[in-house]
């Protein structure tokens, strides 16, 4: 491997393959050589189960169906949360009175993890989809609001001065300066919220569901089927990674004007 | 590739005189809560207990062990014990890994893919695996917390080290300092603020994962207390548990914020 | 200095002073500052270092409230910033999410001028500052000098009565700075405007100004004035240019 | 231009919205309705099916568990007994009693067939106890070979085959779900030796996980119920105390109806009770059919039974029939009173709520359907 290998565009994918293969190897050795074997399936069984589940139904759907269910729950709740978060965050930035009124509730809700809301969510919204949307909404809402707020109050005063000198009114300044200037912050918030929403889908699907990746893991726990659980975990990891990469790609495309420094 | 750092600190606007408005809105909120539950009784207390009942339960829970077998402080103690266990292990492994991944690109090429794949997996999904690996005792719950801490710390350390300005590195190298020396005397000090944020974010992550960990097998802990009251028609205890989690979470964050200020004193330079 | 209320005074400031009061200490930044600027006069506020010049300019622009005194624009008292006074910031203050065209036409857009008309006027000023062909570039993609041209075009495009410039070339390298000094002179002679230009570079002051207002150090106040009646474009090797520069430098050394 | 960023940004939101709704619908359409599994069945399909049959049916949401208590409900649903009574039943399954209670509290269920955990909705005045469905046998506390508890037997007079002494039980870690019969079993067992819950450690885990963990070497003792109790015997664990020895009170799983629902539509509740007991009669009359039917349904819901363990359960657990209820020594609700009284010790049931339990006994449905007189237990029967 000459020096240039590390710089060549092949370095990343190859090393990724090696490192994942290495991880699976360690897992394989760990399972086969130790007493762990009876309880913990090895990578080969799990991956074959994972691949198999693309054709064979687990419960009512294949793993694709489950993934679609989980994704649709996340997509709906996430987009509502992002929308509400941006509005709330910017409003908090724009109107100090609103911020003062809204902040106490925001500070109370934020530290409480979505899982802790499950019992009350069930009492309020029943066992259906609404409870799941509510939990995922909670996971996404605080981050987006926080970032929109930070974006709105940390606009470079010189830009506002320049706009004011050009005759812009307060409202115009908010619309044409504060909002665009906070778009990078908002986008960073949306990226973080997407990963926290995706992580919450498992907890959300613990609330009485019969489909979804989270259900796959939860029902695996109930019937002690470790392969199904691990296949679910692999799916969550892969999709989570895919979502994060997609958001980064979106950012490069959309925020072309923003030189996102380190 | 730039890591998206979870901005946890809330930049406060200058201490505006709006505290009164916040208080008023809070009072109105609690009044409305009271009105629709105990006041007019429109919402049955089984669905949403009133503020008076909740605060009664909250204070009585400090010395009464009904219905879940331990007082609020015992639960908090048990939860904090697991959180700190997971936190310490997570920090001990996360910081070095973050540094090495950021400082040695070759290692990063290998460690990063596995890390990125494990990162989105929530603590709760690991519970069954942890049961098998570490049984159902303190250690397995600690490990679930460890995972969330480990991820948060590694990201922040990684980003912190990467923020080291190349000009600083060159200066150190021109003085003939070795790579390791530069790492310790240039990169790590630069990364310190990011590291401190990481410590605070990780503690927040640890505290939120504790509920998931306690869904595992537990005899005590706030998560257990909430879990127990679900079947017993005691939503007031559930809300007491949630308030306890919220307050403890904020206090932990506040404490670390103080630590951060003292450690970084003048160094919090605005870039 | 006589206080005439002649009609051709575009901007007047009367015994302006400014003190910043923070909970730790109070600093007097500006004291007894008066100025009268005639139509299309290129006035340079020259003074050492960074003490009060920018504050004075911000007060004249209405971005900063004076502790005492008042500002008269076309003989009317003004307290708020407005399109009648254009401002070019030292830190460029270009909107990164707008293209060059977007930045230049921003003032007109905000005042509700129709798209066609503002596009046409903005194009005129883009050509004036020599940025043709860069209309659709984002600021992140163009050089410092070009960004400053956008700042100037943006201020000009709003057709203000007075143009206030706060060390606009401070951040540029020497070579671009000379180029921009020629550019601003060319633009100014092509489209006369009243200009108040702040700088701490003596050569730039003499090169550009009709009249130089010398500012004493903190708290800033007027020391005295110099009328520069050299023809434009001036050259910094012209003996008359050098003598004036020498004179002012000596006066400046005395005041430090 | 500044417009594009805003346009692109809102476009992104719209795109996410559209694709999510699209995914949501496509996924939902593919969903074949499957009654067996805990199907949150789609009410639209039900209504369509029934329009064809005689008259439209009234909808009723029934919650139960994939255990003995749930078999008659599933049987009546499959055999169409509910339909004959004019009921369109939406059957929802829960792993244990606790989540089932939660669903009742959330107003998601109208009636339920539940176990010992039913004491809580009764104590809280949310539900009525409208019928007892089956005896609960085959539950017990199991320990491993060589456990100190096995060293002495018959220490408690009148309990020849109950193992253990105060010293050997003190400090033991019991695995099993809290708030259910398993915990009741443990608490009553240690009470015989003068111990209380402070002397032992009870780790809360659902039956499946608890059994799995116990096999993996966790915990000292396992409080469990069928089928796991039979599996425990098969894997060589020894029963330290049976449920009957420890608790001395006959415990019945039974039927609950939300008070507001029962008040508003007594006919539906009555129809449900009628169809349910009809299924009980069928199952009791033909043990062979009951075995086949139960094994099939339990395994489908992740609870492995084989011939042998199923026969044991049938032997341990009888469904309540009319003849049973008519007999003299049958005292309706005695088990519930014992449990309610017991749970006041650790505050799970508040003293003040004790009277709610007997008040919630409502045998009117059974008495109308079967035209019999049932004597009802009171707290002084417990003395």
Put simply, the answer to whether D16 touches A78 (Cβ < 8 Å) is: yes
In a domain, A30, yes or no: no
- Shortest CA gap B87–chain A (Å): 17
Give the per-residue pLDDT at D78: 92
Do D229 and D334 reside in the same domain of the chain? no
Chain D residues interacting with chain C (CB cutoff of 8 angstroms): 1-2, 5
User: In this predicted model, what pLDDT tens digit does every residue of D262-306 receive, in sequence order?
Assistant: 999 999 999 999 999 999 999 999 989 999 999 999 888 877 788
Residues 71-100 in C contacting D (C-alpha not used; CB under 8 Å): 95, 97-99
pLDDT at A156 over 70: yes
User: In this predicted model, what pLDDT tens digit does every residue of A221-235 receive, in sequence order?
Assistant: 777 788 888 888 999
Residues 43-82 in A contacting B (C-alpha not used; CB under 8 Å): none
In a domain, D37, yes or no: no
Do D318 and D232 reside in the same domain of the chain? no
Do D121 and D257 reside in the same domain of the chain? yes
User: In this predicted model, what pLDDT tens digit does every residue of A85-118 receive, in sequence order?
Assistant: 999 999 998 888 888 899 888 888 888 888 889 9
In a domain, B12, yes or no: no
B219 → chain D, closest CA residue: D203
In a domain, D8, yes or no: no
Q: Give yes or no for a contact between A66 and A213, defined as CB atoms under 8 angstroms apart.
A: yes
pLDDT at B1 over 60: no
DSSP string, B192-208: HHHHHHHHHHHHHHHHH
Q: A169 to chain C: which residues are within 8 Å by CB?
A: 110
Structure tokens at B212: 């998931």
Any CB–CB contact under 8 A between A194 and chain B? no
Measured distance CA(D113)–CA(D99) in Å, rounded: 13
Q: Which of B90, B202, B204 is nearest to B146 (CA)?
A: B90
Do D237 and D367 reside in the same domain of the chain? no
Give chain B's mean pLDDT: 83
Distance set, CA A198 to CA A139, B69, B119, D97, D139 (Å) = 9, 35, 11, 30, 41
Any CB–CB contact under 8 A between C112 and chain A? no
Give the per-residue pLDDT at D50: 42
Q: How confident is the model at residue A72 (pLDDT cuts 50, 70, 90)?
A: very high
Residue B268, classified by CB atoms within 10 Å of its CB into exposed (0-12), middle (13-18) or buried (19+), is exposed
Domain limits for position B143 = 80-267
Beta-bridge partner residues of C45? C198, C213
Q: What integer is the mean pLDDT of D164-193?
A: 86
User: In this predicted model, what pLDDT tens digit does every residue of D69-120 receive, in sequence order?
Assistant: 999 999 999 999 999 989 999 999 888 888 899 899 888 899 999 988 899 9
Do D128 and D258 reside in the same domain of the chain? yes
Q: What integer is the mean pLDDT of B103-128?
A: 86
In a domain, A29, yes or no: no
Q: What integer is the mean pLDDT of D352-379?
A: 89
Any CB–CB contact under 8 A between D342 and chain B? no
Give the per-residue pLDDT at D9: 52
User: In this predicted model, what pLDDT tens digit does every residue of A110-154 receive, in sequence order?
Assistant: 888 888 899 999 988 888 899 999 999 999 998 899 999 999 988
Q: D2 to chain C: which residues are within 8 Å by CB?
A: 95, 97-98, 102
In a domain, B170, yes or no: yes
User: In this predicted model, what pLDDT tens digit does every residue of B200-249 receive, in sequence order?
Assistant: 889 988 988 888 778 767 778 898 888 888 888 888 999 999 999 988 98
Q: Give yes or no for a contact between B242 and A124, defined as CB atoms under 8 angstroms apart.
A: no
Q: D5 to chain C: which residues are within 8 Å by CB?
A: 97
Q: What is the largest CA-CA distance in chain A?
A: 76
Put simply, the answer to whether D216 touches A39 (Cβ < 8 Å) is: yes
Residues 6 or more apart whose Cβ sits within 8 Å of residue D364: none
Chain A residues interacting with chain D (CB cutoff of 8 angstroms): 39, 59-61, 65, 68-69, 71-76, 78-79, 82-83, 119, 122-124, 126-128, 176, 179-180, 183, 186, 208, 210-211, 219, 221-224, 250, 254-255, 257
Q: Which of D67, D367, D377, D358 is nearest to D206 (CA)?
A: D67
In a domain, A114, yes or no: yes
Q: Any idea how long chain C is?
A: 256
- What number is the ipTM of this complex? 0.78
In a domain, B44, yes or no: no
Q: Which of C245, D31, C75, C251 is nearest to A68 (CA)?
A: D31
| Tens-level pLDDT at each residue, chain C (256 residues) | 344 455 677 888 888 888 888 878 888 888 888 888 888 888 988 887 766 788 888 888 888 888 888 888 888 888 888 788 888 888 888 888 889 999 999 888 888 889 999 899 999 889 888 888 999 998 888 888 888 889 888 888 888 888 999 888 888 888 888 888 888 888 888 888 889 998 888 888 888 888 888 887 767 777 778 888 888 778 878 888 888 888 888 877 776 5
Give the per-residue pLDDT at A1: 45
Do D129 and D267 reside in the same domain of the chain? yes
CATH number, domain with residue A227: 1.10.3720.10
CATH number, domain with residue D182: 3.40.190.10
Beta-bridge partner residues of C14? C70
In this complex, which of C87, C95, C98 lies closest to A165 when CB atoms are compared? C87
How is the beta sheet containing D140-143 ordered, strand by strand?
Answer: D201-203, D173-175, D221-224, D140-143, D238-242
C101 → chain D, closest CA residue: D1
Do D100 and D154 reside in the same domain of the chain? no
Domain count, chain B: 1
D121 → chain B, closest CA residue: B233
In a domain, B9, yes or no: no
User: In this predicted model, what pLDDT tens digit does every residue of A20-55 receive, in sequence order?
Assistant: 898 889 888 888 887 777 777 888 888 888 888 888
Give the per-residue pLDDT at A2: 52
User: In this predicted model, what pLDDT tens digit does every residue of B12-65 receive, in sequence order?
Assistant: 554 556 788 888 999 999 999 998 888 887 887 778 888 999 999 999 999 888
Do D266 and D119 reside in the same domain of the chain? yes
In a domain, B178, yes or no: yes
Domain limits for position D94 = 57-135+251-382
Helix (H, G, I), strand (E, B) or coil at A111: coil
Domain count, chain A: 1
Domain limits for position A156 = 58-254
- Shortest CA gap C249–chain D (Å): 46
Give the per-residue pLDDT at D37: 35
**DSSP H or E run through C156:** helix C144-157
pLDDT at B266 over 70: no
C136 → chain D, closest CA residue: D1
Classify C1-84+209-256 by CATH class. Answer: alpha beta
Q: What integer is the mean pLDDT of B57-75?
A: 86
Beta-bridge partner residues of D141? D223, D241
Q: Phi and psi of B64, rounded to 5°?
A: -100, 140
pLDDT at B9 over 50: no
Q: Which of A164, A149, A95, A159 is nearest to B16 (CA)?
A: A95
Q: Give yes or no for a contact between D239 and D335, defined as CB atoms under 8 angstroms apart.
A: no
Lowest mean pLDDT across B156-165, C226-235, D23-32, D231-240: D23-32
pTM of the model: 0.81
**DSSP H or E run through B241:** helix B235-264
Do D73 and D165 reside in the same domain of the chain? no
User: In this predicted model, what pLDDT tens digit does every residue of D155-165 receive, in sequence order?
Assistant: 888 888 888 88
pLDDT at D217 over 70: yes
Do D196 and D336 reside in the same domain of the chain? no
Domain count, chain D: 2
Q: How confident is the model at residue A19 (pLDDT cuts 50, 70, 90)?
A: confident
In this complex, which of D101, D175, D212 lies closest to B231 when CB atoms are compared? D101
Do D130 and D266 reside in the same domain of the chain? yes
B254 → chain A, closest CA residue: A111
Domain end marker among D216, D247, D278 = D247
Q: How confident is the model at residue A4 (pLDDT cuts 50, 70, 90)?
A: low
Put simply, the answer to whether B226 touches A112 (Cβ < 8 Å) is: no
Segment of B128-137, C153-162, D256-265 carrying the highest mean pLDDT: D256-265
Q: How confident is the model at residue D24 (pLDDT cuts 50, 70, 90)?
A: very low
Domain end marker among D226, D247, D268 = D247
Q: D38 to chain A: which residues are within 8 Å by CB?
A: 208, 210
CATH number, domain with residue B224: 1.10.3720.10
Physical contact, B and C (3 or more Cβ pairs within 8 A) = no
Give the per-residue pLDDT at A126: 87
Domain end marker among D247, D276, D308 = D247
Give the per-residue pLDDT at A74: 93
């Amino acid at each position: 491997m000459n020096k240039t290998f590390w710089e060549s565009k092949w370095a990343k994918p190859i090393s990724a393959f090696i490192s994942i293969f290495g991880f699976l190897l360690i897992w394989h050795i760990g399972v086969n050589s130790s007493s762990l074997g009876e309880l913990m399936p090895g990578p080969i069984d799990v991956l074959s189960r994972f691949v198999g589940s693309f054709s064979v139904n687990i419960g009512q759907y294949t793993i694709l169906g489950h993934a679609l269910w989980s994704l649709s729950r996340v997509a709906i709740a996430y987009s509502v949360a992002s929308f509400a978060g941006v509005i709330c965050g910017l409003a908090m930035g724009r109107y100090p009175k609103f911020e003062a009124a809204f902040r106490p509730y925001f500070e109370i809700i934020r530290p409480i993890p979505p899982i802790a809301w499950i019992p009350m969510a069930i009492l309020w919204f029943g066992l259906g989809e609404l409870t799941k949307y509510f939990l995922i909404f909670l996971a996404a809402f605080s981050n987006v609001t926080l970032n929109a707020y930070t974006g709105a109050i940390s606009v470079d005063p010189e830009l506002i001065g320049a706009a004011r000198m050009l005759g812009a009114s307060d409202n115009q300044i908010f619309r044409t300066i504060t909002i665009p200037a906070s778009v990078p912050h908002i986008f960073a918030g949306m990226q973080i919220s997407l990963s926290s929403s995706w992580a919450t889908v498992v907890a959300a699907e613990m609330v009485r569901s019969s489909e979804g990746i989270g259900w796959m893991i939860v029902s695996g726990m109930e019937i002690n089927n470790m392969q199904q659980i691990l296949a679910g975990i692999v799916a969550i990891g892969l999709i989570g990674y895919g979502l994060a990469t997609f958001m980064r790609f979106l950012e490069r495309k959309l925020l072309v004007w923003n030189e996102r420094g380190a | 590739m730039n890591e998206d750092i979870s901005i946890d600190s809330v930049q406060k606007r200058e201490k505006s005189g709006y505290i009164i408005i916040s208080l008023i809105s809070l009072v109105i909120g609690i009044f409305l809560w009271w009105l629709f539950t105990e006041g007019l009784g429109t919402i049955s207390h089984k669905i949403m207990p009133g503020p008076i009942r909740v605060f009664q339960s909250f204070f009585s829970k400090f010395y009464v062990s009904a219905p879940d077998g331990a007082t609020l402080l015992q639960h908090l103690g048990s939860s904090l014990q697991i959180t700190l266990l997971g936190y310490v292990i997570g920090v001990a492994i996360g910081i070095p890994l973050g540094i090495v991944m950021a400082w040695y690109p070759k290692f990063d090429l290998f460690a990063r893919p596995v890390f990125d794949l494990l990162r989105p997996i929530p603590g709760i999904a690991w519970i069954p695996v942890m049961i098998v690996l570490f049984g159902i005792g303190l250690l397995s719950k600690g490990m679930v917390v460890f995972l969330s801490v480990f991820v948060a710390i590694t990201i922040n350390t990684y980003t912190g080290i990467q923020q080291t300005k190349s000009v600083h590195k060159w200066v150190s190298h021109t003085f003939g300092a070795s790579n390791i020396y530069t790492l310790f005397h240039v990169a790590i000090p630069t990364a310190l603020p990011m590291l401190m944020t990481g410590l605070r974010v990780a503690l927040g992550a640890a505290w939120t994962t504790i509920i998931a960990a306690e869904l595992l097998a537990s005899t005590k802990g706030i998560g257990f207390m909430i879990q127990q009251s679900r079947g017993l028609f005691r939503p007031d205890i559930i809300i007491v548990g949630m308030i306890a989690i919220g307050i403890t979470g904020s206090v932990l964050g506040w404490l670390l914020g103080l630590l951060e200020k003292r450690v970084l004193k003048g160094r919090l330079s605005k870039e | 200095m006589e206080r005439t209320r002649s009609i051709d005074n575009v901007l007047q400031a009367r015994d302006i002073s400014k003190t910043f009061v923070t909970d730790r200490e109070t600093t007097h930044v500006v004291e007894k500052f008066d100025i009268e600027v005639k139509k299309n006069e290129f006035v340079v506020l020259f003074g050492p270092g960074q003490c009060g010049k920018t504050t004075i300019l911000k007060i004249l622009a209405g971005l900063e409230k004076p502790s005492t005194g008042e500002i008269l624009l076309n003989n009317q008292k003004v307290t708020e910033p407005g399109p009648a006074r254009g401002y070019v910031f030292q830190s460029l203050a270009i909107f990164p999410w707008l293209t060059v065209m977007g930045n230049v036409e921003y003032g007109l857009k905000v005042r509700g001028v129709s798209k066609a008309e503002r596009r046409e006027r903005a194009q005129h000023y883009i050509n004036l500052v020599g940025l043709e062909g860069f209309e659709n570039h984002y600021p992140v993609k163009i050089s410092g000098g070009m960004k400053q041209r956008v700042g100037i075009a943006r201020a000009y495009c709003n057709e203000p009565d007075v143009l206030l410039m706060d060390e606009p070339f401070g951040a540029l390298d020497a070579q671009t700075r000379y180029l921009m000094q020629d550019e601003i002179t060319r633009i100014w002679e092509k489209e006369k405007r009243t200009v108040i230009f702040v700088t701490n570079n003596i050569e730039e002051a003499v090169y550009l100004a009709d009249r130089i207002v010398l500012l004493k150090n903190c708290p800033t106040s007027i020391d005295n004035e110099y009328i520069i009646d050299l023809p434009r474009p001036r050259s910094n090797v012209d003996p008359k240019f050098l003598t004036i520069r020498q004179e002012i430098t000596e006066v400046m050394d005395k005041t430090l | 231009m500044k417009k594009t960023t805003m346009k692109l940004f809102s476009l992104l939101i719209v795109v996410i919205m559209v694709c999510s709704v699209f995914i949501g619908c496509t996924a939902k359409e593919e969903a074949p309705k499957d009654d067996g599994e805990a199907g949150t069945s789609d009410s639209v399909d039900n209504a369509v099916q029934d329009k064809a049959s005689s008259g439209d049916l009234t909808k009723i949401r029934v919650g139960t568990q994939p255990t003995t208590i749930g078999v008659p409900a599933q049987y009546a649903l499959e055999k169409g007994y509910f339909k004959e009574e004019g009921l369109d039943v939406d059957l929802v399954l829960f792993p244990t009693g606790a989540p089932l209670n939660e669903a009742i509290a959330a107003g998601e269920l109208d009636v339920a067939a539940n176990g010992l955990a039913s004491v809580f909705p009764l104590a809280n005045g949310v539900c009525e106890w409208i019928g007892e469905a089956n005896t609960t046998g085959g539950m017990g506390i199991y320990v491993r070979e060589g456990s100190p508890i096995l060293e002495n037997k018959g220490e408690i007079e009148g309990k020849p085959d109950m193992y253990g002494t105060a010293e050997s039980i003190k400090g033991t870690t019991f695995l099993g779900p809290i708030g259910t019969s398993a915990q009741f079993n443990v608490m009553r067992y240690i009470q015989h030796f003068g111990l209380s819950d402070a002397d032992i450690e009870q780790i809360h885990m659902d039956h499946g996980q608890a059994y799995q963990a116990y096999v993996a070497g966790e915990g000292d003792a396992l409080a469990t119920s069928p089928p796991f109790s039979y599996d425990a015997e098969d894997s060589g664990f020894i029963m330290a105390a049976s449920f009957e020895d420890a608790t001395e009170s006959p415990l019945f799983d039974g039927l609950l109806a939300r008070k507001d629902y029962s008040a508003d539509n007594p006919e539906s509740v009555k129809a449900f009770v009628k169809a349910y007991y009809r299924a009980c009669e069928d199952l009791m009359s033909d043990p062979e059919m009951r075995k086949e039917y139960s094994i099939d349904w339990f395994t489908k819901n992740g609870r492995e039974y084989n011939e042998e363990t199923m026969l044991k359960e049938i032997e341990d657990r009888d469904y309540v029939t009319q003849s049973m209820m008519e007999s003299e020594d049958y005292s309706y609700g005695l088990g519930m009173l014992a449990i309610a009284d017991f749970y006041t010790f650790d505050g799970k049931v508040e003293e003040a709520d004790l009277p709610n339990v007997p008040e919630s006994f409502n045998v009117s449905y059974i008495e109308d359907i079967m035209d019999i007189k049932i004597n009802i237990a009171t707290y002084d029967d417990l003395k």
